Structure 1
Amino acid sequence: MQSIQWDAALIAKYNINGPRYTSYPTALALNTAFPQAALFQALASSGPELSLYLHIPFCHKLCYYCGCNKVVTRHQHKADAYLDALAAEMALYRPHLQQKVINQLHLGGGTPTFLTEAQLSRLMALLHQHFMILPAAGISIEIDPRSCSDDKLRHLKQLGFNRVSFGVQDLDEKVQIAINRVQDTELIRHQVALCRELGFSSVNLDLIYGLPYQQPASFAETVAEIIRLDPDRISLFSYAHLPERFAAQRKIPDCSLPDAPAKLALMQLAITQLVAAGYQFIGMDHFAKPDDALAKAQQAGKLQRNFQGYTTAGQDALLGLGVSSISQVNGVLWQNSKDLPAYYAAINQQQLAVERGFVLSADDRLRAALISQLICHFELDIIALSQQWQLQSFWQYFDSALSLLKPFMEDGLVEVYAEQIRVTDAGRLWVRSICACFDAYLQQGQQRYSKVV
């Protein structure tokens, strides 16, 4: 992969808007006509294990690049009211979970480390009160180094957290100023070292390429420093510039952003460095040490993808709590209100804050399984899929997809055989576009997705 070079013609040809496929259908398919009874049926008929995601929306400062659901505030007490609502939401779900156990728990945001140590203690007590969390569960949290003291890191370990993910993005000061996220490299070094000392089982560092004023030399130094920090995993995300959707991104001048070829060069540079350092390239945007659980899952053909990204847990067994959170359980998707007052209003009436949802059809489930195989493993066993879904003729069922795949085949990005579809190393960059060939909903909302590069 590190030796592949993409030319400008391919970039111009295939750099279209496309989903990231953290689900199929994507979240845009969710609608307000969704019957809440469907989610209770999904929970009742699902397997014995669930992953749990909690959205903590609060941030002390606004990062201009961020497209997440967030509430920027300096008022710490606002989190107390939010924890009250989370407690009520947990209580509403509890009767429908039977004896299900939690195998993964993740706190995302926003900034989960906005919470004080006392608030974090209360949250974990609530979770243990309402859910049966397995002793070996992966319990992870996203960390903003600027809002996480040494004492808070120690407290997280005492509460049972065993995985941490630091939002680094870029270490270059000019880039940090442009995105309004200035953080000292020495602080990150210190916190990563402390996590090792405390015995966290996994440390992940997030990077973003395509940010304003990024240059190959400075980004190469950022990646080199990340490698020196020796994390277990590294996420390398593409910046999605959608100022028409996210007002804060309008503070980033268009002229400061690298164009598609320059952005691609940044990604290529990072891939080369990370692979040379011994990291295994996972999916589209993750890297892991060969002995990491994510790498082992990919090697065993068990890698999954859900709204949290690539994961070792089941992709169809994720329960989301909190404002804007998305759940995916047994062929049913649903999302809480994105508006915090509306979320509070529903919970205060002892109702779930579900705003929209979607029940997958048999065709949706088939396409979801196919896209998952391509985006996680870059190949599809046509015979196995046909047998699993009782297809008499794969290409008769997906006849329109074959014509859409032909340009990718002609450009050497995908190979199609009687029994297999394989994304080539050169095609890996365009796997989102290749998956889109099998997407029955894409044309309805393509303009709302980010560029592939």
Structure 2
Amino acid sequence: MNAHVSPMTATPPPLAEVARRMVPRYTSYPTAPHFSPAVTPSIHAGWLEQVAKRGEAVSLYLHIPFCRSICAYCGCTTKASLRDAPIRAYAAALHREIALVAAHVGRVRVSHLHWGGGTPNILPPDCMAALVDDLASRFSFQLDMEHAVELDPRHVTPDGARQLAALGVNRASLGIQTLDPVVQEAIGRIQPFDVVAASFLALREAGINAVNADLMYGLPHQTLPMIKDTAERMLTLRPDRIAIFGYAHVPWMKPNQKLIDDAALPSSEARLEQASEARAVFEAAGYIEIGIDHFAAPDDPLALARQAGQLRRNFQGYTNDAATTLIGIGASSISRTPQGFAQNAPDTLGWQRAIEAGMLPIVRGKAFEGEDLMRADIIESLLCDFAVDLAAVASRHDTTPEALADAVERLQPLIAAGFVAADGDRIAILRHRHEIARVVASEFDTYLGRGGRHSVAV
């Protein structure tokens, strides 16, 4: 693999054809469809005990699988609850799981704490405060710990924002998706711009100055002018980070998405145009491009990590989190340790039963084996930096780049199209980086095609 690869060995594919390929998002590798029951509670307990021995800081993720209503586009593990009683019962079980985890990992240092969902701010304030107190008593929060929470702007109030700030929350991500009323009606998430603006104001006045915005393209009835209008109006609120994800239409996995009319969805070509339009608006406003779907203010830690070559990717997307261990707490949460992935029971009742029996609620996972870690590094580099030195990565994993020659061969059509360059052992994505990075990464995925369906690349 030391010779230059000729760019004329295959027929170039159209960009739209490449963008229609169904590939994973690669927030993990191996990806979740390849987890199995071979990873048991006792195996994960052993992994956590090894984490304790390493003495390194870890990240914590708490999953809150409740919303007041379910949006039609949603692909998260969550369910609707109009009452607080099930949410309080869930919080009580979280305390028991926290104790189980702490029993194995000890008073480990925590560099990142992230609340996801669902709608984390659906937790009654006293429940969330008690959970933070419990975590702080069992683990050692670093002074510079990032404490982030995902929020529904429809449920952000000045009092709620002050309560979050009092708990040490210093970053909030607001799920906005779109500001267009036609699209909001189609996805079942009505939130006028004034509501979104009020949530930004409440958070910042409470002292939570780092506020992110999550948007989507490819939604039903969404058009190019709608995307441009949403992007431009978001800029008036000056979010610190902006993520714009392609809507993943997977009704075979998420029954609520059957409420969306397939005929109302933009075409592959329209999705490409929408993503490009939003990108142009954000970059023109001075935001720094982060990977395939994130943007950050120039002084944001994510932008600084990118510039320093320290950008990472995990289940929360792009991050500056350098921890090698992420411990997931709550139903469906996934943990990553240096030994492998372990996932909690996705159903709340099954998760609670395991905890009540005094067991870690693990139902499946994947122990790293063979070339898993090497290929994970390659995929992460391609998605973070749009380039990878195969020889350097192979050397770190005590092998040679020849083991990757088949993947480079499969990239020939993209090389022929001038989208990708393979010079010696270096692979670089030259054109349409955002559109094809996941496709390029997928050529290094030895599990792809062995089960599981995915969304389109763009």
- Do these two structures clear the TM 0.5 threshold for a shared fold by scoring above it? yes
- What whole-Å deviation, never above 9, does each CA across 1:120-150 have from its counterpart, x for those lacking one? 2122122212222112100011110112221
Report the counterpart of residue 268 of structure 1 in structure 2: 276
Check if 1:126 corresponds to 2:128: no
Q: Percent identity?
A: 37
Report the counterpart of residue 27 of structure 1 in structure 2: 32
Please state how far the C-alpha of 1:445 moved relative to its aligned partner: 2.2
Q: Secondary structure at the match of 2:313?
A: strand
Pick the aligned partner of 1:367 from 360, 369, 375.
375
Q: Tell whether the 8 Å contact from 1:415 to 1:421 is kept in structure 2 after alignment.
A: yes
* Partner Cα separation in structure 2 for residue 54 and residue 70 of structure 1: 13
Q: Secondary structure at the match of 1:335?
A: strand
Which sits farther off after the overlay, 123-132 or 328-337?
Answer: 123-132
Report the counterpart of residue 4 of structure 2 in structure 1: none
Report the counterpart of residue 404 of structure 1 in structure 2: 410
Check if 1:449 corresponds to 2:458: no
- What whole-Å deviation, never above 9, does each CA across 1:342-396 have from its counterpart, x for those lacking one? 11111111111111011101411111111111111111123322321222x41x2
Q: Partner letter of residue 18 of structure 1?
A: V
Q: Secondary structure at the match of 1:451?
A: coil
Report the counterpart of residue 5 of structure 2 in structure 1: none
Which sits farther off after the overlay, 424-433 or 337-346?
Answer: 424-433
Q: Tell whether the 8 Å contact from 1:326 to 1:335 is kept in structure 2 after alignment.
A: yes
Q: Tell whether the 8 Å contact from 2:27 to 2:316 is kept in structure 1 after alignment.
A: yes
Pick the aligned partner of 1:37 from 35, 42, 67.
42
* Partner Cα separation in structure 2 for residue 174 and residue 428 of structure 1: 27
* Partner Cα separation in structure 1 for residue 58 and residue 439 of structure 2: 30
Check if 1:426 corresponds to 2:453: no
Q: Secondary structure at the match of 2:371?
A: helix
Report the counterpart of residue 416 of structure 1 in structure 2: 422
Report the counterpart of residue 307 of structure 1 in structure 2: 315
* Partner Cα separation in structure 2 for residue 116 and residue 87 of structure 1: 15
Report the counterpart of residue 111 of structure 2 in structure 1: 103
Report the counterpart of residue 88 of structure 2 in structure 1: 80
Q: Tell whether the 8 Å contact from 2:19 to 2:435 is kept in structure 1 after alignment.
A: no
Q: Tell whether the 8 Å contact from 1:38 to 1:332 is kept in structure 2 after alignment.
A: no
* Partner Cα separation in structure 2 for residue 103 and residue 292 of structure 1: 17
Q: Tell whether the 8 Å contact from 1:63 to 1:181 is kept in structure 2 after alignment.
A: yes
Structure 2: gaps spanning 5 or more residues: 1-11
Q: Tell whether the 8 Å contact from 2:58 to 2:325 is kept in structure 1 after alignment.
A: yes
Please state how far the C-alpha of 1:13 moved relative to its aligned partner: 4.1
Alignment of 1:286-301 (within 5 A): 286-301=294-309
Q: Tell whether the 8 Å contact from 1:43 to 1:330 is kept in structure 2 after alignment.
A: no
Q: Tell whether the 8 Å contact from 1:409 to 1:415 is kept in structure 2 after alignment.
A: yes
Q: Partner letter of residue 74 of structure 1?
A: L
Q: Tell whether the 8 Å contact from 1:53 to 1:105 is kept in structure 2 after alignment.
A: yes
- Equivalent pairs counted in the alignment come to 444
Q: Secondary structure at the match of 1:235?
A: strand
Please state how far the C-alpha of 1:228 moved relative to its aligned partner: 0.9
Q: Tell whether the 8 Å contact from 1:413 to 1:426 is kept in structure 2 after alignment.
A: yes
* Partner Cα separation in structure 1 for residue 323 and residue 144 of structure 2: 19
Please state how far the C-alpha of 1:10 moved relative to its aligned partner: 1.8
- What whole-Å deviation, never above 9, does each CA across 1:204-228 have from its counterpart, x for those lacking one? 0000000111111122111001111
Q: Which has the higher contact order (CA 8 A, sep 6+)?
A: 2
Q: Secondary structure at the match of 2:292?
A: coil
Q: Tell whether the 8 Å contact from 1:38 to 1:359 is kept in structure 2 after alignment.
A: no
Q: Secondary structure at the match of 1:200?
A: coil
Alignment of 1:330-409 (within 5 A): 330-391=338-399, 393-394=400-401, 396-409=402-415
Which sits farther off after the overlay, 214-223 or 119-128?
Answer: 119-128
* Partner Cα separation in structure 2 for residue 312 and residue 14 of structure 1: 27
* Partner Cα separation in structure 1 for residue 107 and residue 129 of structure 2: 24
Which sits farther off after the overlay, 240-249 or 11-20?
Answer: 11-20
Which sits farther off after the overlay, 290-299 or 197-206?
Answer: 197-206
Check if 1:18 corresponds to 2:55: no
Pick the aligned partner of 1:165 from 164, 169, 173.
173
Q: Tell whether the 8 Å contact from 2:57 to 2:110 is kept in structure 1 after alignment.
A: yes
* Partner Cα separation in structure 2 for residue 97 and residue 426 of structure 1: 43
Q: Secondary structure at the match of 1:219?
A: helix
Q: Partner letter of residue 156 of structure 1?
A: L
* Partner Cα separation in structure 2 for residue 151 and residue 209 of structure 1: 32
Q: Secondary structure at the match of 1:398?
A: helix
Q: Tell whether the 8 Å contact from 1:404 to 1:437 is kept in structure 2 after alignment.
A: yes
Pick the aligned partner of 2:62 from 38, 54, 64.
54
Q: Tell whether the 8 Å contact from 1:331 to 1:365 is kept in structure 2 after alignment.
A: no
Q: Tell whether the 8 Å contact from 1:279 to 1:287 is kept in structure 2 after alignment.
A: yes
* Partner Cα separation in structure 2 for residue 18 and residue 450 of structure 1: 6
* Partner Cα separation in structure 1 for residue 225 and residue 19 of structure 2: 27
CA RMSD across the alignment: 1.5
- What whole-Å deviation, never above 9, does each CA across 1:51-70 have from its counterpart, x for those lacking one? 00000011001100001111
Q: Tell whether the 8 Å contact from 2:311 to 2:384 is kept in structure 1 after alignment.
A: yes
